[in-house]
Structure 1
Amino acid sequence: MKSFIKNNALSLSFFVIFLFSLVAQIYFGKEEYNRELAENNAVSVDLKSYLTSGHFVESTFENWESEFLQMGMFVLMTISLMQKGSSESKKFDGTDEVDREPDPNKKDAPWPVKQGGAILWLYKQSLTIAFFLLFLISFVLHFYGSLDDANTGNALKGEPMQTAGQYITDSRFWFESFQNWQSEFLSIFAMIVLSIYLRQKGSPQSKPVDASHNETGE
């Protein structure tokens, strides 16, 4: 058990923080949603009903959507685009380890590498594919939740319901998306640029403390 925790400490730590944050979001989100319902003289909902409400689905997946888009774009763009001096960029000179062709004879090489062909091609792109697939799933769920929440508000106000075709061009939906997207792209920009000049001893996201500002890559 100790070795498992040691070997997976980084992912486990972030997953625990994620679960804590999700529980806190659910608690405060339910309180906020019921307050909105009370202001419109509607009956409050229990936890089970809240977890299937558009309010919860929209607020959850609009954030996940932007995170997966950010990471997918970052992985894809770092293939060919570089930033002088950044630890987040490939080197300008020489060949990076990530660019070499996979060796099927290498000991403990993953199964797709040994298989070759189309399986290997998909495996070569699998990280980007996974992030964009998660983005698309989150985007659809965000849209569903946002539409449901908007129609809940319309029902409370006695206004007509919107269809999916009408809502896809609604400013509310795209405002929800872009307000998250811009913050994610700003954070990536900050990480790329700040890693040129700033250091964090011991972190693989930073260059060595004594590295030149012009040195590119980890």
Structure 2
Amino acid sequence: MSADERERRGTLRRGGFWRDNSLTLVFGTAFLVVLACQAVVGHAEFNEALTVEGLQTIGLGEYVTTSDFAVDVTENWQSEFLQFFLYVFGTVWLLQRGSPESKELHNAGPESDREQRLGDHARSDSPRWAGTKDWRQRVYSRSLGIVMGCLFLGSWSAQSVAGVAAYDEQQLRQLQAPVGWAEYLVLPDFWSRTLQNWQSELLAVAAMVILSVYLRQRGSPESKPVGAAHTSTGVEG
């Protein structure tokens, strides 16, 4: 069965709303649950620090509006979006023999309009902008990476703003002078928060790419078929 036939069959074979969107719903719900747990635990830790310093504790509702909570959240968000931004653009050109995370070795690059179903090669069910021949096609052809890049820059900027606010609050509690935003961007606190997340995301990507060459997960599109050769590249289970 060709890739086009598999795609059409998958489009026609629809289940209910929950089944058709279960991946997004499960991970979206898990995100909210974990975020709520982070707020509860972070609130307890924040109040412990206030108690040690002889200051009045605050409620959970007030804590989730603090810069301390905001910087802890956004420093993780920015690294996740950076990971996917680099991965989306990097996998256009970068290859890994034997990994389902890589394209086939002869397909490095943006591929032809025919392969990507652009312009005259667009089908009736293709997104409208894929069938155009102007700036809309160029933008839509890179829209996933562009949006991921914007989300990364937005969340990284939010981290810097929340980070300097949290840093200055700590400075004032210690009777030290606060710093400005530009000054904070060159301080170890900002880069420590940033780099500790970047290194973990890059490690996770590298581990997934190389481990998927030799290990399998039956039924997962992130894995090759269990019986596929280790050298099979760009093959999904």
Common fold by TM > 0.5: yes
What is the match of residue 19 of structure 1?
Answer: 32
- For 2:109 and 2:161, the matched residues in 1 are separated by 42
- For 1:78 and 1:161, the matched residues in 2 are separated by 43
For residue 155 of structure 1, the aligned residue among 172, 177, 183 is 172
What is the match of residue 192 of structure 2?
Answer: 175
Amino acid in the other structure paired with 2:140 = Y
What is the match of residue 47 of structure 1?
Answer: 60
What is the match of residue 102 of structure 1?
Answer: 117
- Count of residue pairs brought into register by the alignment: 217
Query: Are the counterparts in 2 of residues 66 and 184 from structure 1 also a CA contact under 8 Å?
Result: yes
* 1:107 CA drift (Å): 1.6
Amino acid in the other structure paired with 2:63 = Y
- For 2:200 and 2:100, the matched residues in 1 are separated by 21
For residue 72 of structure 1, the aligned residue among 77, 80, 85 is 85
What is the match of residue 48 of structure 2?
Answer: 35
Q: Which range is displaced more, 99-108 or 144-153?
A: 99-108
SS, match of residue 78 in structure 1? helix
- For 1:151 and 1:114, the matched residues in 2 are separated by 52
TM-score, normalised to structure 1, is: 0.94
* 1:78 CA drift (Å): 0.4
Change beyond 3 A, Cα 1:162–1:139? same
SS, match of residue 16 in structure 2? helix
Indicate whether 1:202 and 2:219 are aligned: yes
TM-score, normalised to structure 2, is: 0.87
- For 1:142 and 1:53, the matched residues in 2 are separated by 12
Query: Are the counterparts in 2 of residues 61 and 141 from structure 1 also a CA contact under 8 Å?
Result: yes
Give aligned-pair identity as a percent.
34
- For 1:107 and 1:55, the matched residues in 2 are separated by 50
SS, match of residue 102 in structure 2? coil
Indicate whether 1:136 and 2:143 are aligned: no
- For 2:234 and 2:82, the matched residues in 1 are separated by 23
Q: Which range is displaced more, 129-138 or 104-113?
A: 104-113
Long gaps (5+) in structure 2: 1-14
Long gaps (5+) in structure 1: none
- For 2:40 and 2:153, the matched residues in 1 are separated by 27
Amino acid in the other structure paired with 2:96 = Q
